[in-house]
């Protein structure tokens, strides 16, 4: 089923990431970590649907998306970058494989952080952060989405690593076998992995080689 929702706020989080808040259809339901297909309600764009994750909570009176925009071609995210309050989106029902199954380590690459934003907001709101850990890989410090928020709620359990820049407060390594072995002790815990296809495949395989159960790895790309 399709719903048309009006944009109520647009905020820049980084140089290429927008936080878009919209109206919420009556009785619309999703769980933290889920996504929906989104199109722009403008001529020539209504059929161009792309998947984006909800970063708001199910009980919020609005919907929110955190969207990384790309300008190397005239695509949907390039058009999204020009949206303003009052413009409209078309969304479908919610879907998605990522949901919280218990304490574990979340591993995100770039825009793969988005399903984890709602999950961590849910955990934070319900005082269930506990020993959950986040490993977040980006190219540069300017690419780190909601860095201060994750620092605040996770403290030492937030590990930011940059692959193209070496600056204070961040590791400067790829998320590989050596990195995982250095930062993790328990491989029987839950793992949640989201990011570019190659990263998700490689990290999931490396976790299994280190002792993680395939059933204990929840992933989406």
In angstroms, rounded to a whole number, what is the distance separating the alpha carbons of residues 93 and 13?
26
- Computed over every residue of the chain, the mean pLDDT equals 95
Close Cβ partners of 27 (under 8 Å, ≥ 6 residues apart): none
pTM score, whole prediction: 0.94
Give the model's confidence band at 221: pLDDT under 50 very low, under 70 low, under 90 confident, else very high.
low
What is the pLDDT at residue 72?
A: 72
Q: Give pLDDT tens digits for 120-159.
A: 999 999 999 999 999 999 999 999 999 999 999 999 999 9
- Return the structure tokens found at 91: 């969304």
Rounded alpha-carbon distances, angstroms, from residue 135 to 10, 48, 70, 87: 27, 32, 24, 35
Q: 58, 54, 95, 146: which is closest to 134 by C-alpha?
A: 146
Q: How far is CA 65 from the centre of its chain?
A: 9
């Amino acid at each position: 089923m399709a719903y048309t929702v009006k944009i109520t706020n647009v905020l820049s989080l980084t140089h290429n990431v927008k936080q878009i808040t919209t109206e919420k259809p009556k009785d619309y339901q999703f769980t933290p970590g889920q996504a929906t297909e989104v199109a722009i309600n403008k001529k020539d764009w209504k059929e161009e649907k792309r998947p984006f994750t909800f970063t708001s909570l199910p009980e919020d009176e609005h919907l929110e998306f955190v969207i990384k925009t790309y300008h190397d071609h005239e695509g949907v995210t390039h058009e999204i970058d020009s949206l303003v309050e009052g413009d409209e989106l078309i969304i479908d029902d919610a879907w998605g494989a990522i949901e919280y199954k218990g304490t574990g380590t979340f591993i995100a690459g770039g825009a793969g952080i988005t399903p984890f934003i709602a999950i961590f907001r849910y955990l934070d709101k319900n005082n269930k952060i506990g020993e959950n850990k986040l490993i977040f890989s980006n190219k540069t410090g300017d690419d780190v989405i909601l860095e201060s928020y994750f620092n605040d709620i996770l403290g030492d359990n937030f590990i930011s690593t940059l692959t193209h820049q070496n600056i204070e407060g961040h590791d400067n390594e790829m998320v590989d076998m050596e990195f995982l072995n250095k930062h993790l002790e328990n491989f029987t815990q839950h793992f949640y992995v989201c990011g570019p296809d190659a990263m998700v495949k490689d990290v999931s395989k490396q976790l299994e080689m280190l002792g993680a159960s395939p059933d204990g790895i929840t992933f989406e790309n």
